């Protein structure tokens, strides 16, 4: 007989709550423009720590433009580009074909 970790149930509950919140957010964002929907989805897709270091500045023809605070965060975001693109598209219900990251000057 296998024993379930004491942390397994709270973790599973947190994942369930996260999915509910994402669904609620997606529903709430439908009344906004695509750019505003993506900006609202940004902290959910990448987490608050990363979101604080990147700002969505434009969305044109499926390409999202994000200004990033410094080279370290730029590298991290670039390495997560595919994941971020997929999450943003799913949460905001906006087709994002590419994300262009640029370090703030």
Domain interval for residue 41: 8-103
Is residue 44 included in any domain, yes or no? yes
Query: Could you tell me the end-to-end alpha-carbon distance of the chain, in angstroms, rounded to an integer?
Result: 59
Residues contacting 62, CB < 8 A, separation 6+ = 95, 96, 97, 98
- CA separation for the pair 78, 7 (Å, rounded): 32
Is residue 60 included in any domain, yes or no? yes
Overall number of domains in the chain: 1
The Cβ of residue 91 has, within 10 Å, a number of other Cβ atoms equal to 21
Q: Residues 1-24: what's their mean pLDDT?
A: 59
Any idea which residue has 């906004």 for tokens?
32
The Cβ of residue 36 has, within 10 Å, a number of other Cβ atoms equal to 15
Q: Is the pTM of this model over 0.95?
A: no
CATH code of residue 76: 3.30.300
Is residue 98 included in any domain, yes or no? yes
- Give residue 11's pLDDT: 57
User: For the segment 47-101, what is each residue's pLDDT rounded down to a tens digit?
Assistant: 999 999 999 999 999 999 999 999 999 999 999 999 999 999 998 989 999 999 9
Looking at 47-92, list the stretches that DSSP marks H as alpha helix, in order from N- to C-terminal side.
48-51, 71-79, 81-92
Is residue 52 included in any domain, yes or no? yes
């Amino acid at each position: 007989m296998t024993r379930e970790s004491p942390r397994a149930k709270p973790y599973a509950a947190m994942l369930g709550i996260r999915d509910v919140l994402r669904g609620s957010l997606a529903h709430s964002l439908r009344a906004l423009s695509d750019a505003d929907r993506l900006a609202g989805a940004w902290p959910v897709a990448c987490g608050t720590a990363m979101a604080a270091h990147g700002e969505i500045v434009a969305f044109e023809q499926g390409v999202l433009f994000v200004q990033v605070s410094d080279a370290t965060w730029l590298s991290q975001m670039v390495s997560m580009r595919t994941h971020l693109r997929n999450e943003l598209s799913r949460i905001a219900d906006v087709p994002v074909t590419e994300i262009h990251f640029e370090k703030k000057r």
